[in-house]
Each structure stands twice: as C-alpha cells, then as structure tokens.
Structure 1
Amino acid sequence: MVNSTTNVSTSSNSVSDQVIKSEMPLRIALLMLPASLDLSLSLTAKSQAPSEMAKQLSVLMPELYNSKLLETTELVSIKVDDFEANLTATIESIEQGKIVQISTATNSLLMMHALKAAQNRIHPHAQLAAMQIQTGQLQAGAAAVTDACIADACMADSCMQSALNQAKRQPASVSKRFDLPQLNSTEQFDAVCELIKDLASRTHHRDAASISPKQATSHYWFTEHHQARVVAINLTNHAPSRSELCSDSNSCISFVISQGTGFIAPKSIIGTKRLQLIVCADTQAQLIAELGTLQIKLKALTTEPTPNGPLLTLMRDNLLRYEATRSATYAITLQANSVEAMLQELNAMIENVPKVLSEKDESSQYKTPAGSYFTAEPLGSNASGGLAFVYPGVGTVYSDMFSELHGYFPSLYSHLEREGDLKSMFQADAIYHLDPRVASAMPLGDLAIAGVGSSYLLTQLLVQEFQITPNFALGYSMGEASMWASLGVWKNPHALIEKTKTDPLFTRAISGKLTAVRQAWQLDDNAPDIVWNSFVVRSPAAPIKALLPEFPHAYLAIVQGDTCVIAGCETQCRGLLTQLGKRGIAANRVTAMHTTPAMEEHSNVAQFYEQPLEESLPTDIKFISAASGNSSVSNSQGTFDSQVVANSIADTFCNTLDFTALIHSAQKQGAKLFVELGADRQNCTLIDKIAKQDRQCGAESTDYPCCTVPVNAKGGDDITTLLKALGQLISHRVPLTVAPLIDGLNREIAQTQLQAASTALQVTAEQMTNLTLQGEV
C-alpha cells in the first residue's frame, strides 16, 4: 500500500481562459467517510489501533470494508489547502486507478472511479459527473466592485454551462443550483461535502428566513417520479489586488453532482439524548431486582469521566438481552433524555410496579410524560391476539408532518420511492409549503391522498422495520381505503393517486359543486350554489335524530363517543343546533360523505375502489368495516375479492358512520390494543372517550379491555412519539424486533470508538515524529 499527500496549484491569465478537465462525463464515485477516519494514518501506524479502526469501519462502512479495496488499491491522502489544486490532483490520481481521500478537520470524502466502485459492490453516496474551472483577471478602476460582480456572475454561468455540457445534462435536469461565493478552500470543500450529504440523505433544507420558528427546518427531498436528484454547484472567488495598477483575480469551479445509490447511515433512534431501557421478567420480585440492577449500573455511569460510550453499550446490551427474553410475562420500558432523568424514571417505576400489579386489570398501567410504561395486563401478545391497526379518515394530515422520519429510515423511503410517486402520495407541495395554512386548505381529494399516504408510510414502517403484524384492521371513514391500501390487499394502490385528484366523485359530486347533493335535493342548474358545512357537537345521537325531520337538508353524519358530526345546508345545521340547545364547532369543509345524498354516488364509489388485489393476500388479519356490523373478512375465510372490498368502502362512504359501534364490534371480535396508523392521534382520542363513556354508563363493552397507542402526534417530535409507541407495544408484549434500535446504537458505539482510536493514532504519530526529529538532532 502506497500513501501520499498531494498538493497542486494552478493559475491562468485572462477571464476567457478555461481549464477543462475533460469533455466527457467524469463518472467519479463519492463516498462520505466519518470525519475522524484517517485512512493513511490507520494504514501506516505501528500499533493495535489499525485493527480497532478496521473493526469500526466494518460497522460504519460495511461495503467499503468488505470490498478489501483499501488493501488492494493505492490510496492518495490529501489535506485540503488549495481546493482547486487539490481537486486537480485528485482527478489525475483517479485517472491513474488510485483512490483518494480528501479531507478537512470536519469532513472526509473518498473518491474513486465509478467503475471501480461498481466492481467492488460499493454504493456511492453521490457521483461527480463534471468539474470545470475558469480563471481570469479583471482590470482595476473606479468601477472595480461592480465589474467584479458582473464578471463573477458571467463566469459562473459560463463555467456552469461548460460543466453541464461535460455531464451531458440540460439545465432543466438540475434539481438545485448553489452559488457559493467568497469561501476559502476549507469552506469550499466543507460546503460541497454538506451538499453531498444532502443528496445521500435525501434532505431538503429550508432558508431559515423564510419559515416560522415552529416550522421544520428540513424535510425529505421530494422529486418528480423516477427523476434523480442533481445539484449544480458554483464556487466563485474574487480576490482584489493590493495595487490599483494590478488586476483583480477571479476564479470559478463548477460541479455537477448526482445522487448515488448509497445512503447516509440512518440516525440512531436512541442515544445519549434519547435513552431507552427494557426490563423483562415473570414476577414482581424479578422486575424489582432487574430495576435495581439497572439503577446500580446507571449510577456508576455518573462517575465516569466520559460516560457516553459505556451508556451506549449499556443500552445496546440491554436491547440484545430483550431480544433473547421476549417470552417473559411482563416488560417495562424506561425512557428519558439523560442518565439523571433515567434514574428518576427508575425510582418512580420501582415505586409504582407493586401498585400496578396489585390492581391487575385492563386499566392497570403506569406511564410517565417521558414515555416510560408498564402494564400488568399485556393486550398484544400472540396468546391475546388483540392487536388492531386503526386508520384515520380525511383531514388529519398537517403541515410539515413526518419531516424527520426519513433520516432514521432512509431505506424505507427509498423503497417507497421505487414503488410509486412519493411526492404525490404525500401531496408534498402542499404539506411542506412555506405557508403552513396551505396544507389545511387542500381540496378533499388531496386531503384523501395525503391521508392514505401517511397511513401507508407508518404501516410500512411498523411492518417492515419492526416486523409488527396486526390481528385486526379497521378504519374511520375513508380510513377504510387506507386500510386496504396499506396492508397488502390492493395490488397497486398508487394508481388511485391521480384518479382521486381528477375523478368527478371527489372534485364535484360530494365536494366542490356538490352535484350529488343537488341531484338529491332536485335542484336545477339555475339554483344558487349550496352553502354546506359540518359541525362537531357534544351530544348523543338520539336527540339529533329526533330533530332531523324538521331539518330535511341536515344530516347526522358521524357518531363518535360523546360527540356527533352533523352536516348539510349550513343554515339548517345551525337551526338544528339552536333547537338542540348546543354549540357546534364548524369544520368549514365541504364534503357530503356519510349523508343521504351520498347514496346517489354509491355505484360510482364502488366502481372507483374496485381495484385488482394482490395474488398473495394476508391470511392472519381480520378486516372490519363500519358497514359490516359485528363481522369481519379475511383471506383465510375465502371471502376476499375486489367487489367485496369495493362495496364495503362504498357502504361506509355513503351511510352514517357510527364509529362507536365500529369500536364495539372490533372489541367483541377480540381487538384490545388499538394502534393508530396515520397523521396525528385523533382516533386514539375518540377511542379513549368511547371507552371512558362505556365505563361511566356500565355498557356491555366495559367487559372488553381497551388501550390506545398513537404512532404520531401533531406538535410532537416524530421519533420521540414513535419511541413511546414502541415502548407501549413492548410492554403489551406485541411481537416485534428492536433490530433498528440495536443497529443505530452499534453505529453510535463504533463512531465513539473510532474517534478514540483516531485520537490515539494521532498521538502515536506525533510521538514518532518527535522521536525522529530528536534522533536527527
């Protein structure tokens, strides 16, 4: 192995001079390395540290480690000092078949020919397709500053066009262009590395000046379907001369960089700022003993000079033990944001475990605001078979939802992007609009698409990443469509996206002009537009039903626990509320779903949702429709076909939705633990109210256990809410894997150990240098 450090400088004399490295695309693979990883240092050091560094590399960069490329190919190591010259030397070395590590104190980039990366099965984070350099001089004078700005702009455009020509790309194919003037060499390199990271993590950053403090600073980088992300980067410098008689020097470096097939490693779900520990046992005494053992271990960490490494290892080993003891009767999950806070959670749990176990009923649980949770009556085990996925209806999506998730589950997003149009599925232009009011003002069809999209994403997250399979599935209103789309029943649910945006059913029949309502009310074309609204009112259904004959254009649309939704002619709805003696909260949304006029569209709804089914359908999930009473359908019964599914949705769509009855039906069939799969937690709130109401009036359903688990909550941190949900599911003994948590911790541990090994190598190298100098003296 040969290691060398290369520095090259270049210059030119006029503004028209161009340094064109190649007229052909460069095809250079780019791989971001941990900043603390100095390959040349690790390969030349005479100590045990290299093997330690290799061990960490196998965790952090498994493809690179397994390729043995570092052992078989000459490595050139470059520390950035003159970025333009460094890049020239880098490309020359790559053309000679070498690989190059170019780095600063904060970023490290490995570069090689794309063919070499492919031959070694390395998926690069990005690919450099073009690099062009232009340099020139501008005459000094009174208008020097203005001339410099004009020259810089012209040079940047000219240089970028040369780069696009080299990359064989049209300007329209560029996703984003970045013009970064007046940076020194280190800043230039770091800026380019940050953009490569954005490509590899598919992250779009927002301008802080254009958003409010409550808005997300970044979100997933959406593109049109099957369109790769491409960035064009201009680095321009204008260096004024010291003498008015001399010329100013100008230079521009233009890059065209496209996304690679590799991803930045997922962020760790738990870590030193988001702690989780699990205790499993069969008896109260064992639980208390395990909690005491953890308490001792955590207290020991408070005396550690550098506790982060041991803390990460403690949590990783704890999760590995959980994976080996899944069959235990009880599980406690502990969550906190620091070791000190975790000790407080432990103390509280030790105090409350005996109380919870002594009560021993479905309400026997203990949870803290931090997310620690314990139940004495697990409802989600295989023996219980009570896990139900619940899908919310239209209108739960919100601005900037799920803005953080892609950083923790990049492979999931990549999978969804290959499956279909992710941008349309999330209605990203509205959900991530700079004006947060745009999301809530979306048309009914767009709200429906985004609602199904959010449910689909969270379902795949639980099913694929954590291997959770429900026993039951049900949906609130159009949540039934989300249910069929998300759980492997419809063959191509993405086909409904464009159809939902354009079909008359959503654009004018039960929304917009309300043609179905006009037909039901026998209004001709000359009749004025219908002023429609819906209102949430705290009232039982019976007194509302008693008043409906007096208000023929007002309808009882939804029954949900202690509240109902009435919809129809706004004047008649307000009149009904007045006579009822109740105040209603206006939804200000035009939709005739769940009203009598919707029956005009029953056949169209059924036709719309009659979709081809998967050849292999789920056999272990019972699907419960609001229109099916106390029955359910599953493939194991042989009752699945596209017509059954379509009619089920149409019946729910066109009739009053009795969500209370739907929950009671699910409980009677065995559903106990209701996990909401969608944006926000509205269904969980409704189910909790239904259960509370049942307990107060001594209803039959009181005999059935009921617990809710939201996976998302508006206004909350995406990952914290998800982690709390996982904690509840673990305590309810739901079969699942915590492998994503373990993998993240392994990377965090490797990063910590790599930093320590790198520091040790640097110390060793400095000592060897000092010894050499002393010997020479």
Structure 2
Amino acid sequence: MTATSYAPLALFLTMPSTAEPRPATVSLPCDKLLPALLQARALLDEAQGSLICLTAAGITGAQGKASEHPGMIWLMDSRQALKLKQHPHARLYLHTEPTSAAEIDSIPLAAAGKAAGKMLEYHIPAHQGFAALRQLCHSLAARDLPPAPLAGGRTGANVSDHTDDYADVYTHNCADKPAFDMPPDDATGSSICFSGQYWFCEPGDRRQVQLRLHGQSIEDEIPGQTVHTLTLTQGSALLPPRPIARYWLEYSAESAAELATQLHRDTGERTALNTWHRHNTLLPQGTGCRAVVVADTMAALEAELDGLIRHIETRPTVWLQTPGGSCYCPANQGCRPGELAFIYPGVGTAWAGMYQGLHLYFPELFEVNKSLPLAEMLQAEMLQADTLQSTGPQANRTSQNQSLPLAQQAVAGVGQSWLLSQILCREFGLAPDMALGYSMGEISMWASLGIWQSPESLIRPTLESALFSHELSGPLRAVQALWQPPSYDAGASGTQPTPDWGCYLLRASYDSVQQQIETLFGKTCRVYVPVRHFDSCILAGDTRQVQAVIDALGCTAIPSPLVTAMHTPAAWLLHQSMRAFYQLNTQSPRLLRHCLFFSASQPQAINPALSSLHLAPQDLSQYIADSIADTLCQPLNLPMLINRAIHQGARLFVEVGADRQLTSLLANQQLSWQPVKTIACNSKGAMPIRSLRKCIAALRTLGVNIRAPLAVHARTLSAPGEGVRSHISTSGAAPQETQYVSSR
C-alpha cells in the first residue's frame, strides 16, 4: 500500500503566543500516537486557527497553565504558524498508511524540503511513540544529535552531513528495547536527554529525522508487523541555553578575615541558600580579597564553602582554585585593565570531545555561525569517531585522539581556538589586551580574533596541500631535500626513502642540549632544537644523532606523537610557499579590535586597529603572511615570546585552545615580573563546560570584567557597609523552566 503525505504540522514545546487561539479538545490513549496525530490533522484542516495540545494522556485544550506540563507538544498548521510569524521547534510530515518494512524505503522524502540534510532514522515500538516524538523535538531544537538508546541498541555514526563517508541513514533497531530510556530531569520528571554531540549540518541544509513506529495500525485490526513513518525536520526555534552552574556566589572584602566571615555566615544559612532567586552583580573592583563559589548541588556548595574557609584561615596570602572550580584571590593579586593576554596553543593538542556539549550552553553562537563549515573547522568526523557510543556529555571523557596527521591536527586546533574565542568574547564579553601564539598558534590568533575576513577558506587548502602532508610531515620531502647532495632531484622525491626522523621532548635546558649537539657532531649535525621552553625543549632530527644526544645528557626524553620538521632548517626551503599560503584578505582596520598582537618572529608587536600605523589591508595581509612563514621556519623561543608580552604589561594569560599545554608549561616558571597567572579554558579528559566554568570563575575572582555568568542562583556579596547589590539576570534559564527562544 502506498504511503500518503499530509500538510506538515508545526510542533512547539511550549504554547505559542497566538493572537486568538481556538483550542480543540480530543481525548485519546497515549499509546495511539498515530491516530491522535491524524485526528489533530483533521481538526486543523477544519479550522486552521486551531491550536492543539498533545500530552501523554491524550490531546487537551489550551487552558490555564497547561503549557507548563512537561509532557506536552503543541500543534499548529504549518501554514498558519508562518502566517502568525510563530517559530516552531520542529515540523512534522505525516505518512499515514501502514507500510511494510520492505516497502518503507519507497516513501518519498522530498516533502521534508529540498534543503533537507541527510536522514537519521529510528525504529521505535508504537507504544513509545509519544516519548520518542518529544525527545526528537527537543534534539532538533537543541541541534543535538539524538541520544543512542541504552540497553544495547545499535549505535550509528555521528553524521557529519557534508561528507559521504557515512551512510545516509543513521539507524537504531530497538523495537524490542526501551528506546530513550533516559534519567528523568530532577525538577520536572521529564525523560528528555541530550547526547552532547552537536548535530552538524551542511550550510544551507536542515536537520531531519525519520521515526518509524512498529506494531500499530490505524484501526488496530491489521495483523502482523506494520510500520508507520513520521518525518521531522528542524524548526526555526532553539532551546534556551543551559546554565553553566546552578549556584554562583561572588564575594569581596577588604581583608581575608572579613571574607572568611561572609563565607561562615552563608555556611550556616542553608535555608537562605535554597530560596535564592537568580541575581547577579559585577564583582566590585579594587585591591581587596575576592572569592567565587560555584556548585551544581547544595551538598557541593556547602563543601566548596567549607574548603575555601579552611584555606583562607590558614593560607590567606595564597591563590586557590578548588577542583570544583571555586576560587580565592588574596588582596593585590587581581588583574587590572590592560593586563589580559590570550595565548593560543600549537598543533597537536586537539582531542576527541574537546567541544562536546558546548552547543547546549551557547546555542545562539552555533546558530549564528551555521553558514560556516563547522564540521570541517573542528574535524568532527575524525575527532568524534571515539565518542560515537556516548549517550551524554560525560561519556568517553578520556578517549585519546588517534594521532591525526599534521594537517587534520592543524585544522582542528585552529577550529577549537576559534570556537573558544567566540565563547569568551561574544558570550562573556572578554576583550583581550594582547594576543600571542605558540608555533601554529599564531595562525589561531589571527583566525580567531577577527583579523582575517574568511579564515575558514584555509581549511580545504590545509587538508590538501603537500606542505603539511608530504613536505613537513609524512615522507618529509623537505628534509630529504635538505639532506640530499646538490644533484638531488625534487621531482623524483617520491622514490627517495623517508628520512629516519625522531622527535622528543627533553627535560633539559636549551643551552645544555645545544652544547652537547655541537660537541658530538659539529658541522655534520643533522639534529636540531626546533622549540625552546623554560626548563625543557624539543629535539628533532636524524634518529641516531637524536638518541646519541639523549644518551649523552642522560635526561628524560618523551617521544612526540606528531612528527614534523617545522622550526628546522628544512622548513626554510618552503618559506616562499608558506608566505603565499597564508596571505589572506584582512578586515578593514576600522573594524578590528584594539589588541596588541605578538609574533614570535617579529621584534615588535602590532595593533592593527591603530590608525597611526597607516597599514592598508593589503599591507597588513602581507605582514601577517610574512610573520607566520618566519615563525614556522625559524626555531621557536617561547621564553622570549612570553617575556616580551610581560614587558608590555601582560599579567594574566588565558590559554584559548584545546587542552592546557601552555598552562602547564608556564605554571611553575619564574617569569620576569610576578605575579603572573595562567588559566586554561579546556582540559583533555574533562567535560568542556566544566573546564570553561573554572576559567570564568577564575577570571571573575581576579576582577576581570565579564558579562553575567549563566547561573540559576547567583549572588554577590560586597564589603561590609556596601550591602548586597543585585538585579534580575536574563542570561540563562533554570533546568526546570520551559523557556524557548527563536533562532535568528
């Protein structure tokens, strides 16, 4: 029997604010989803202005506070929703005739729209149809890949919609298993869950999913297994952002003793803590002591308060951040205007799960950038391969990347730095005073802070260029050219053996390593120190010579998983190619932020926004291309780069990128001026939102002026005599609230 399609329905997760809704009332059992939808469609055909509410107990009218019930879906004719300028969370296309499993693939999907992306597919027992429909509506509105069923359901691929490497259909065969068996929300009892995997979609396409209901016929008289199909596509509305913390307390006082008194007072007022409303005030500026307490439960909140009190009473002059993210900053150790620097890590730090779940907390950020190739920017297909079995943001937190090639690592690293820069600057209003990058982190720096017009245009060339796949890594053709005699034929390089190249991190000073190289090899040297750290360095080159240096020093040597010839003499053979590769169009200087940019290869920092430089866009483009090429070819001196920024006033370094490589390098160093603090906003193996929350809490404690944190319960306590200053926060929404926003 051929499937029949009806006009689509607009689905809402809360009652839309129509001018004159004319509700209809129908009562049907919850295990007959398809008959209920058919009757709803018939009612809407009779009166297009009708607004129908479908609940787990049936379809009821729109009366009173019904829209707050956690088990409701509101239905409206899609044409009427468009006329009333209502933003649905999803659109539903009905295929009403029972169809055998063998015939199901013949159902036309064109009704879902010409711009629909690849189809995800779920097989669900009919009696679980309503729960599955609500789950998929939430997933579509959150742009979150629907969670895989528990209890052994087969998990498909996390589809990167722009690629053909995955099948067009993402299938869960779970007809005999409890689909969407998810833990209920503490506040509502709802079974809605999110996978934490962003639902990537090719620019211009729409996300869509097919729900196949088994074992139900319209008249309940057709024997045997039957299949009914519902097709859902994304609407124009988004779910509201999740709060980054449930409790967010901010304190300041003139002395550590006064601050401890405030914390003691709150520790004994659990009733008051439980009855807070959402309030927020910027932490007062000044030279006094500050503290920020963050927690997700009342028990955790009390433990954080107790831990801070013990620290303040015993070590009042020492900075502290607890594992939970709460912070204490002693007097005169905060950050003043002009001292904030963003530092971008180099290649090789990208890891699976580094951005997992962030779209649930910053949905508008992802939506306004939907025209960008986000899946390619973050190398989602490669990095998410290890997290496909996850059913929530915590799953597979410790999965390691699979030693991605240099090109993929470079693209993913820049993409993650761009994403975190957008979150820090757009969502929290941070404005760095300075920016610098470690090795290829310079590319992240220029790409992330709005200097290049279209940094995403570098993605495909980076992945396809021989510079990164053959010259500086892989067969290392640049090294072959450097080590071969003058008669070397570059055109025949494919027949040359790959150099026996080793790369190690040595726990030894640069001076001692360089002295040992000169002593052992002199002019026959084929071993180099491409990167110099504070008390360590990178050693690369001919494996035999590298091992000889390590043996002579007797130091710890850690093999590098990423083999590259950057920052060695071989890279200079590609200098002109790199200059051409990184020459991109830049924004007009009047559109650029005021920020001092440091390049490891240039003696002076540059502020492109200052008109006194009189740099035309083409001159700025050439300057950036030259500085990147020079940086990637010459040895990198990290201490010199850091001290140049410190000399210009940097006192707080925020590492903006995957993992915390630079934060670890700088944490225990005695730099030119003290105190200097480093903060990471991403840590391998940790939930990205928790790492970001710790970063924001630290910044607030240090006195950095940022926008209100997205907390459910937040309060600021000032020094005695100032009182509590607060206002109702509009950022974020409590988990129990049912607020929804339209995408732009």
Interval of TM-score (by shorter of Structure 1 and Structure 2) = 0.7 to 0.9
1:220 & 1:495 partners in 2: Cα distance? 22
Deviation of 1:519 after TM superposition, in Å, equals 1.7
Deviation of 1:563 after TM superposition, in Å, equals 1.0
Task: Pick closer, same or farther for the CA change 1:476–1:639 going to 2, 3 Å.
Answer: farther
**Which of 134, 140, 143 is the matching residue for 1:193?**
134
SS at match of 2:704: coil
**Which of 75, 80, 84 is the matching residue for 1:120?**
84
More deviation, 628-637/260-269: 628-637
1:327 & 1:94 partners in 2: Cα distance? 62
Please tell me whether residue 476 in structure 1 is matched to residue 438 in structure 2.
Answer: yes
SS at match of 2:480: helix
2:113 & 2:433 partners in 1: Cα distance? 53
Deviations 1:684-741 (A, max 9, x none): 000113x2xx2xxxxxx34332111111111112222211111110011111011533
Task: Pick closer, same or farther for the CA change 1:499–1:206 going to 2, 3 Å.
Answer: farther
1:709 & 1:432 partners in 2: Cα distance? 26
Deviation of 1:610 after TM superposition, in Å, equals 1.1
Q: Which amino acid aligns with 1:428?
A: A
Task: Say if 2:435 and 2:596, in contact at 8 Å, map to a contact too.
Answer: yes
- Runs of 5+ in structure 1 lacking a partner? 1-15, 34-38, 40-63, 136-150, 302-306, 695-700, 755-777
Please tell me whether residue 446 in structure 1 is matched to residue 408 in structure 2.
Answer: yes
Deviation of 1:277 after TM superposition, in Å, equals 1.1
**Which of 14, 29, 42 is the matching residue for 2:10?**
29
For the pair shown, the structure with the greater C-alpha radius of gyration is: 1
Deviations 1:562-611 (A, max 9, x none): 11101122222112212222241111422111111101111211211111
Please tell me whether residue 528 in structure 1 is matched to residue 464 in structure 2.
Answer: no
- For residues 146-225 of structure 1, the aligned pairs below 5 Å read 152-158=100-106, 161-162=107-108, 164=109, 166-167=111-112, 173-180=117-124, 182-184=125-127, 187-204=128-145, 205-206=147-148, 218-225=196-203
Partner of residue 705, structure 1: 675
2:411 & 2:348 partners in 1: Cα distance? 10
Partner of residue 518, structure 1: 480
Please tell me whether residue 716 in structure 1 is matched to residue 678 in structure 2.
Answer: no
Q: Which amino acid aligns with 1:290?
A: Q
Please tell me whether residue 279 in structure 1 is matched to residue 251 in structure 2.
Answer: yes
TM-score by length of 1: 0.76
Task: Say if 2:654 and 2:679, in contact at 8 Å, map to a contact too.
Answer: yes
Task: Pick closer, same or farther for the CA change 1:296–1:120 going to 2, 3 Å.
Answer: farther
Partner of residue 421, structure 1: 373
SS at match of 2:385: coil
Deviations 1:69-106 (A, max 9, x none): 1x512022555512222111111222221111111165
Please tell me whether residue 622 in structure 1 is matched to residue 596 in structure 2.
Answer: yes
Deviation of 1:554 after TM superposition, in Å, equals 1.0
2:297 & 2:545 partners in 1: Cα distance? 56
Q: Which amino acid aligns with 2:422?
A: Q
Task: Say if 1:623 and 1:633, in contact at 8 Å, map to a contact too.
Answer: yes
Task: Say if 2:250 and 2:293, in contact at 8 Å, map to a contact too.
Answer: yes
TM-score by length of 2: 0.80
Q: Which amino acid aligns with 2:252?
A: C
Q: Which amino acid aligns with 1:20?
A: T
- Runs of 5+ in structure 2 lacking a partner? 58-69, 157-193, 388-395, 713-728
Task: Say if 1:30 and 1:124, in contact at 8 Å, map to a contact too.
Answer: yes
- For residues 138-149 of structure 1, the aligned pairs below 5 Å read none
SS at match of 1:203: coil
Partner of residue 663, structure 1: 642
Partner of residue 570, structure 1: 543
Deviation of 1:238 after TM superposition, in Å, equals 6.0
Task: Pick closer, same or farther for the CA change 1:618–1:290 going to 2, 3 Å.
Answer: farther
2:289 & 2:25 partners in 1: Cα distance? 54
Please tell me whether residue 728 in structure 1 is matched to residue 695 in structure 2.
Answer: no
Task: Say if 2:709 and 2:731, in contact at 8 Å, map to a contact too.
Answer: no
1:602 & 1:417 partners in 2: Cα distance? 35
Deviation of 1:206 after TM superposition, in Å, equals 4.2
1:753 & 1:444 partners in 2: Cα distance? 43
Deviations 1:111-163 (A, max 9, x none): 112333234333211112x211224xxxxxxxxxxxxxxx84124335xx15x
Task: Say if 1:114 and 1:127, in contact at 8 Å, map to a contact too.
Answer: yes
Partner of residue 239, structure 2: 264
Please tell me whether residue 345 in structure 1 is matched to residue 304 in structure 2.
Answer: yes
SS at match of 1:501: helix
Task: Say if 1:127 and 1:260, in contact at 8 Å, map to a contact too.
Answer: yes
Deviation of 1:327 after TM superposition, in Å, equals 6.4
Partner of residue 751, structure 1: 737
Deviations 1:270-315 (A, max 9, x none): 22xxx321113445565345334433432555xxxxx4xx25x2xx
Task: Say if 1:606 and 1:647, in contact at 8 Å, map to a contact too.
Answer: yes
**Which of 74, 79, 86 is the matching residue for 2:22?**
74
- For residues 230-249 of structure 1, the aligned pairs below 5 Å read 230-237=208-215, 248=223
1:485 & 1:491 partners in 2: Cα distance? 9
- For residues 356-755 of structure 1, the aligned pairs below 5 Å read 359=317, 364-377=318-331, 381=335, 383-418=336-371, 420-434=372-386, 439-522=401-484, 524=488, 525=492, 526-549=495-518, 550=521, 552-615=525-588, 616-629=590-603, 631-636=605-610, 637-638=612-613, 641-689=620-668, 691=669, 694=670, 701-738=671-708, 740-741=710-711, 747-748=733-734, 751=737
Task: Pick closer, same or farther for the CA change 1:658–1:617 going to 2, 3 Å.
Answer: farther
User: Would you tell me which structure has more helix in proportion to its own residues?
Assistant: 1
Deviation of 1:677 after TM superposition, in Å, equals 0.6
Computed over aligned residues only, the root mean square deviation of the Cα atoms, in angstroms, reads 3.1
2:607 & 2:559 partners in 1: Cα distance? 36
1:744 & 1:710 partners in 2: Cα distance? 27
Task: Say if 2:283 and 2:700, in contact at 8 Å, map to a contact too.
Answer: no
Query: Which structure has more RCO (C-alpha within 8 Å, separation ≥ 6)?
Result: 2
Deviations 1:294-348 (A, max 9, x none): 33432555xxxxx4xx25x2xx22xx2x238466854310123432342343234
- For residues 85-100 of structure 1, the aligned pairs below 5 Å read 85-95=35-45, 96-97=47-48, 98-100=50-52
SS at match of 1:85: helix
1:206 & 1:628 partners in 2: Cα distance? 50
Task: Say if 1:379 and 1:733, in contact at 8 Å, map to a contact too.
Answer: no
Q: Which amino acid aligns with 1:336?
A: A
Please tell me whether residue 227 in structure 1 is matched to residue 205 in structure 2.
Answer: yes
Task: Say if 2:244 and 2:709, in contact at 8 Å, map to a contact too.
Answer: no
SS at match of 1:229: strand
Task: Pick closer, same or farther for the CA change 1:460–1:169 going to 2, 3 Å.
Answer: closer
Task: Pick closer, same or farther for the CA change 1:723–1:510 going to 2, 3 Å.
Answer: same
Deviation of 1:500 after TM superposition, in Å, equals 0.6
Partner of residue 144, structure 1: none
Q: Which amino acid aligns with 1:353?
A: I
1:444 & 1:504 partners in 2: Cα distance? 11
Deviation of 1:440 after TM superposition, in Å, equals 2.8
